[in-house]
Chain A
């Protein structure tokens, strides 16, 4: 079945850029998402990208999509301690009635 994979941990220093990577298997994916989960809270949508786009920028966030390799990344510029959270990659496509499938999440640690 469809799968979304991410590395589990990433540690960066405050002020550096963070890059969180994700791979997926569903070639019919039409939308790819990044969600953020802060401690003790549910997930919240950060940003999304349509599959016919290569890049989307939103303030400190840059999403890159390589559809050929089924690779998605989230870059956070000037990472702050408040960015410490778990980041989930997700995809939705024609399979399963547009059911969204999530990766396991990458825990980002930001060191002061």
Chain B
């Protein structure tokens, strides 16, 4: 399909383990966002990639969280030494980042459960 895909769809891990979440954006989209949505909470911005510019990491909650985007396409969000409070749905979105109306297209999310 031509949409944003994320993998895995579900991930269960033990406290203290590292996890990697993957996002495949829509081809040609220069902007890529990661968000976290916790149960009963709203949408929390994590990180924003735009083309070759340095990413905006202002939303990362701690230094256990990092993300990279290789070749301006696929992105990986890594959480080291996971904690139970990291349990949430992690959403990825991409957009053309036009200076006009810029629709973000969201993936279905990865549900992370830390036991």
Contact = CB atoms under 8 A, between A and B. Distances in A.
B62 interface: no
Q: For chain B, which range describes its interface: under 10, 10 to 19, 20 to 34, or 35 or more residues?
A: 20 to 34
Contacts of A99: 48, 50, 56
Interface string A8-24: 10000000000000000
Contact of B101 (A31, A42, A101): A31
A41 B105 CA distance: 12
Q: For chain A, which range describes its interface: under 10, 10 to 19, 20 to 34, or 35 or more residues?
A: 20 to 34
B35 interface: yes
Given A103-B42, A105-B42, A92 B102 contact: yes
Interface of B: 4, 33, 35, 41-43, 45, 48, 50, 53, 56, 58, 91, 93, 95, 97, 99-104, 106-109
